[in-house]
Chain A
Amino acid sequence: MSLIAIDALKKSYGKTEVLKGIDLHVKQGEVIALIGKSGSGKSTLLRCINGLEQINDGAISVAGEQLINDELHLRALRLKVGMIFQQFNLFPHKTAGQNVMLAQQVVKKRPKADAVAMARKMLDRVGLSDKFDSYPDQLSGGQQQRVAIARALAMEPMALLCDEVTSALDPELVAEVLQVVRDLAAEGMTLVMVTHEMAFARDVCSRVVFMHQGRIHESGPPEQVFNNPQTPELRSFIGMTG
């Protein structure tokens, strides 16, 4: 039984078809890296999974919740799968703690005391227990991204979507965020991530999916994908990125 099931997914922007029939099933506990050139559709695929992009054809479900484009169904689906963004997207008018608390209270209707306790626990988990009362602009990029991870985790999702979560970070801040993601993977969290960190993908992922021109071109365990690529496109992509 797949936790995330994507079947025959098609997505177009106007006349440009960016996803041309994607089938991808992710089991609980799997860690998937989506790799490929920019424009290959990997970010779009990720954003389709939680309904940030409207799909044109096909079906998606997460933990049994179908992707149906109305508020009720979207909410049910988004409670199953969290998302972390390249630009962090913390709420700048709220402290780190309030960022983690807000959706718990508004969406899950958790009492404030419970939301506070959960926020402290999650901030502690990403190593930021002392930043509860800091505003986002008082935090480094790496810290902001870790707050964003804590915010997503506080909703207790079954899977997390990571959209190039280290691409906006200064090089010296990448490691602290990747460490948190690595810990999540080790704890059995289901992850689907778009990444340019090939070494990290090789290290942490259970499966690597190479996308090319809107299709899944090749996929497999990291050692196979990186050491023994079957298609010239993947060979050239890996050659490019080292």
Chain B
Amino acid sequence: MSQIGFADILWNLIMAAGWTVVLSLISFVGGGLLGIVLLFARIGKVSWLRVVVKIYTEVFQGTPLLMQLFLAFFGLGLLGIDVPPSLAAGTALILWTAAFLVEIWRGCVSAIAKGQWEASASLGMTYVEQMRHVILPQAFKISIPPTVGFSVQVVKGTALTSIIGFVEVTKAGTVLANATFQPFTVYGLVALIYFILCYPLSLSAKALERKMNVTHRH
């Protein structure tokens, strides 16, 4: 068996980190799209839909992501559906991301002052028109910093998918640590890679927040 050098370790981790990025993007974009749909149900006028989405978010926020991954991986397998780790990972992370984003965004909508609703209603706008022209544009602006901030959680959340066998940077790290007997070096590099992925996101969230506090609110 040939020796695995530092450069090999690093190279393999970087390759695997590509999958971390891909899974993060899928989760964030998919969760965001699902989150928008759920948001409209959550703040809409149909009361049973609001309740359904509320229960959905409570369940996904109130259980560990790891359990959700297990259930997606093994649960669907019980139904006779052969689930590859990538599909289970993507599905669970999308559902999990959506559950958090919908609550973040709902908070942004309810942060818009009551007077905005009253003024637009007094001008004869319907609920949909108020949402589209008055409430959502303002809510969107204040939602950007917390949404970008949450993307950090998504990136770190992908680490758990290693446990169901999806080969991203953490799983690759485990394999390499076992093969090289250098767990500290390997996991140190893995942590560094996560940091390199997440730190710019944190920074931009902070920058966006500062920018919105300082400049005019338009």
Residue numbers of A with Cβ under 8 A of B are 50-52, 71, 74-75, 78-79, 82-83, 85, 87-95, 102-103, 106-108, 135, 137-138, 148, 151-152, 155
Q: Are B122 and A78 in contact (CB under 8 A)?
A: yes
Q: Are A82 and B122 in contact (CB under 8 A)?
A: yes
Q: Collect the chain B residues with CB atoms within 8 Å of residue A51's CB.
A: 121
Q: Are B126 and A71 in contact (CB under 8 A)?
A: yes
Q: Are B125 and A103 in contact (CB under 8 A)?
A: yes
From B119, B123, B218, give the contact of A135 (CB < 8 A).
B218
Q: Are B126 and A83 in contact (CB under 8 A)?
A: no
- Quick one: given A93-B137, A93-B217, are A75 and B118 in contact (CB under 8 Å)? no
Interface size on B, residues (CB 8 A): 22
Give the 3 A-B CB pairs with smallest separation, nearest first: A89-B119, A103-B123, A89-B115
Q: Are A89 and B118 in contact (CB under 8 A)?
A: yes
In the bound complex, CA of A87 to CA of B117 (Å): 13
Q: Collect the chain A residues with CB atoms within 8 Å of residue B218's CB.
A: 92-95, 135, 137
Q: Collect the chain B residues with CB atoms within 8 Å of residue A135's CB.
A: 216-218
Q: Are A137 and B125 in contact (CB under 8 A)?
A: no
In the bound complex, CA of A103 to CA of B119 (Å): 10
Q: Collect the chain B residues with CB atoms within 8 Å of residue A83's CB.
A: 118-119, 122
Q: Collect the chain B residues with CB atoms within 8 Å of residue A108's CB.
A: 124
In the bound complex, CA of A95 to CA of B216 (Å): 12
Q: Collect the chain A residues with CB atoms within 8 Å of residue B210's CB.
A: none
From B116, B137, B141, B216, give the contact of A89 (CB < 8 A).
B116
From A87, A102, A137, give the contact of B115 (CB < 8 A).
A87
Closest to B127 in A: A71
- Chain B, range 58-95, C-beta contacts under 8 Å to A: none
Q: Collect the chain A residues with CB atoms within 8 Å of residue B216's CB.
A: 135, 137-138
Q: How far is the CB of B81 from chain A (nearest CB, A)?
A: 44
Closest to B118 in A: A52
Question: 7 additional contacts, CB 8 Å, given A83-B118, A91-B116, A103-B124?
Answer: A74-B124, A75-B124, A78-B123, A92-B217, A106-B129, A135-B217, A148-B119
Q: Are B119 and A155 in contact (CB under 8 A)?
A: no
Does B134 belong to the interface (CB within 8 Å)? yes
Q: Collect the chain A residues with CB atoms within 8 Å of residue B120's CB.
A: 91, 103
Pair count A-B, CB < 8 A: 76
- Quick one: given A78-B123, A107-B123, are A92 and B133 in contact (CB under 8 Å)? no
> Hey, what's the 0/1 contact readout for B92-127 against A, CB within 8 Å counting as 1?
000000000000000000000101101111111111
Most A Cβ at <10 Å: residue of B115, B217, B218: B218
Q: Are B217 and A152 in contact (CB under 8 A)?
A: no
Does B162 belong to the interface (CB within 8 Å)? no
User: What are 15 of the A-B contact pairs (CB < 8 Å)?
Assistant: A50-B122, A71-B126, A83-B119, A89-B113, A91-B120, A91-B134, A91-B138, A93-B138, A103-B120, A103-B123, A106-B125, A107-B125, A137-B218, A152-B123, A155-B123
Q: Are B217 and A85 in contact (CB under 8 A)?
A: no
Q: Collect the chain B residues with CB atoms within 8 Å of residue A90's CB.
A: 119
Q: Collect the chain A residues with CB atoms within 8 Å of residue B217's CB.
A: 92-93, 135, 137
> Hey, what's the 0/1 contact readout for B127-144 against A, CB within 8 Å counting as 1?
101000110011001000
> Hey, what's the 0/1 contact readout for B203-217 against A, CB within 8 Å counting as 1?
000000000000011
- Quick one: given A106-B129, A106-B133, A137-B217, are A85 and B124 in contact (CB under 8 Å)? no
Q: How far is the CB of A51 from chain B (nearest CB, A)?
A: 8
Q: Are A107 and B118 in contact (CB under 8 A)?
A: no
In the bound complex, CA of A135 to CA of B217 (Å): 9
Q: How far is the CB of B158 from chain A (nearest CB, A)?
A: 35
Closest to B112 in A: A92
Closest to B134 in A: A91
